[in-house]
Structure 1
Amino acid sequence: MIYTCIIIDDERHFTTLLEEYIAELPELELIKTFHDPTRAIAELTAEHFIADIIFLDIHMPHISGIELAPHLKKKCKFLVFITAHAQYAVNAFDLEADDFLYKPFKIERLQQSIKKITGHTTPAVQENTDNDFFFIKISGTQSKYLKFLYSEVIAFESDKNYIRIYTPNDCYRIYLGINEVEKKLAGRNDFIKVHRSFIISKAYIELVENNMVVMKNSNVQVVIGKQYKASFFAYLESHKF
């Protein structure tokens, strides 16, 4: 499972380090970093749900993490305070924080925290091979690329000149054709095309009923196209118990 994260901390040198830690942990996905708590509260408090985990610094200018926490606690699953001032720990837990990280901490301490608050073991940090992931360049930018793990992609859906990439926590609309995706996936056996507009991950298939495929961890349901029906059901038969 992937846990989305937001960092609110005015110390840029520390947020850079925490961003690097998060990038190395496959169960974490960083959505945004705020260095100004007033901007964070302006942008986030109107939202119904912000992220799975908020890493919130306590000692910040204008408004402290202690003051900010009540506005954010109900908008995330887990609230983790981070600070270099140990005397704030009591106040942090009075606010029912899920954990308290004392700066500076190593990535192993962050792993322990994620395991503690989610009840799941975070896989050890490891290098991905080139076959585990891919990058997609965001149109209209010169240097912004999104990284995707193949193991996290539920489906690719054609949307005119775009594709939608479904993951357990989000859906991304990218300027790219489905035929280009199909070419890039050539030679892989973890995806299968079931409709002219859909390429799905075999690992996320939850249920096949009549001509409908229901995918796990999403709202994706795909009607099997006529020209793909024979090959898809042949795949199912080859894996029937």
Structure 2
Amino acid sequence: MIYTCIIIDDKRHFTTLLEEYIAELPELELIKTFHDPTRAIAELTAEHFIADIIFLDIHMPHISGIELAPHLKKKCKFLVFITAHAQYAVNAFDLEADDFLYKPFKIERLQQSIKKITGHTTPAVQENTDNDFFFIKISGTQSKYLKFLYSEVIAFESDKNYIRIYTPNDCYRIYLGINEVEKKLAGRNDFIKVHRSFIISKAYIELVENNMVVMKNSNVQVVIGKQYKASFFAYLESHKF
């Protein structure tokens, strides 16, 4: 089945990326992109067609996605909010949005969203296998490197000028800053920062209770930092049943 889509977002660099994602997924067909929300509401309310999915930015000039949403719900089967501002997540779900995508996101996150809202699985997009692992140079040596699979990393923890890398079988203390880890993880969708000292793997989250995240296959428990709470709970909301 083909799902028709409309994008409403004033940020052209992002709509270009989302258009590329949609073009790669054979289940999706882009009808139109609007960069002006006032033009979008004028055209969509005047015309009689209905799209399957509308991807709607929240923070836009003149009129916000939150204000647009009630007018657009009847123009689509599924409404998906997209924004870089996690504090809007609660408002999005109050308006009965079908999903919430937190920018920036990768094509795999878009696939998850389509599967969630439609119940249809899109074909997997193959990634370069070089993205599955990384090497850490052992300090004090000239040519000794330790290989890690991203899929086996439970968490990265900052410890002054070092980081601890937790895996199911061990914990490694490496001379490296947490900022360098963040740069390396930029663009990946399988890790999330929940505290200024902790970046955790989404796959290893076992339990979230109040402000505590418990990671499976380890003794790692992390208190969610105040400045990361909104984005983390937005992520949880977007993946709940």
TM-score, normalising length: structure 2: 0.52
Separation of aligned partners in 1, 2:49 and 2:62: 24
Instruction: Indicate conservation of the 8 Å contact 2:58/2:81, yes or no.
Output: yes
- Which deviates more, 164-173 or 57-66? 164-173
Separation of aligned partners in 2, 1:202 and 1:53: 26
Instruction: Indicate conservation of the 8 Å contact 1:157/1:178, yes or no.
Output: yes
Question: What's the secondary structure of 2:130's corresponding residue?
Answer: coil
- Measured against aligned partners, the alpha-carbon deviations of 1:35-57 in whole angstroms (never above 9, x if no partner) come to 00001011111233331000000
Q: Which residue of 1 aligns with 2:179?
A: 179
- Alpha carbons of 1:107 and 1:138: their partners in 2 closer, same or farther (altered >3 Å)? farther
Identity %: 100
2:79 is aligned with 1:95? no
Q: Mind listing any 5+ residue stretches in structure 1 that lack a counterpart? A: none
- Measured against aligned partners, the alpha-carbon deviations of 1:21-66 in whole angstroms (never above 9, x if no partner) come to 0000000000000000001011111233331000000000000000
Deviating runs (4+, > 6 A) in structure 1?
A: 126-241
Instruction: Indicate conservation of the 8 Å contact 1:47/1:75, yes or no.
Output: no
Question: What's the secondary structure of 2:171's corresponding residue?
Answer: strand
- Alpha carbons of 1:5 and 1:185: their partners in 2 closer, same or farther (altered >3 Å)? same
Separation of aligned partners in 2, 1:218 and 1:30: 44
For residue 177 of structure 1, report the CA deviation from its aligned partner. 65
For residue 143 of structure 1, report the CA deviation from its aligned partner. 53
- Measured against aligned partners, the alpha-carbon deviations of 1:159-210 in whole angstroms (never above 9, x if no partner) come to 9999999999999999999999999999999999999999999999999999
For residue 95 of structure 1, report the CA deviation from its aligned partner. 0.5
Question: What's the secondary structure of 1:71's corresponding residue?
Answer: helix
Question: What's the secondary structure of 2:46's corresponding residue?
Answer: coil
Instruction: Indicate conservation of the 8 Å contact 2:109/2:189, yes or no.
Output: no
Question: What's the secondary structure of 1:176's corresponding residue?
Answer: coil
Instruction: Indicate conservation of the 8 Å contact 1:24/1:126, yes or no.
Output: no
Separation of aligned partners in 2, 1:100 and 1:237: 8
For residue 10 of structure 1, report the CA deviation from its aligned partner. 0.2
Separation of aligned partners in 2, 1:23 and 1:47: 25
- Which deviates more, 109-118 or 209-218? 209-218
Instruction: Indicate conservation of the 8 Å contact 1:2/1:169, yes or no.
Output: no
- Alpha carbons of 1:181 and 1:116: their partners in 2 closer, same or farther (altered >3 Å)? closer
Separation of aligned partners in 1, 2:141 and 2:38: 28
- Alpha carbons of 1:118 and 1:63: their partners in 2 closer, same or farther (altered >3 Å)? same
- Alpha carbons of 1:146 and 1:41: their partners in 2 closer, same or farther (altered >3 Å)? farther
Question: What's the secondary structure of 1:218's corresponding residue?
Answer: coil
- What's the Cα RMSD here? 19.6
Q: Which residue of 2 aligns with 1:119?
A: 119
Separation of aligned partners in 2, 1:188 and 1:19: 19
Aligned residues: 241
- Alpha carbons of 1:212 and 1:177: their partners in 2 closer, same or farther (altered >3 Å)? same
Instruction: Indicate conservation of the 8 Å contact 2:52/2:76, yes or no.
Output: yes
Q: Mind listing any 5+ residue stretches in structure 2 that lack a counterpart? A: none
For residue 75 of structure 1, report the CA deviation from its aligned partner. 1.1
For residue 102 of structure 1, report the CA deviation from its aligned partner. 0.2
Separation of aligned partners in 1, 2:66 and 2:231: 58
Instruction: Indicate conservation of the 8 Å contact 2:87/2:231, yes or no.
Output: no
TM-score, normalising length: structure 1: 0.52
- Measured against aligned partners, the alpha-carbon deviations of 1:47-104 in whole angstroms (never above 9, x if no partner) come to 3333100000000000000000000001100000000000000000000000000000
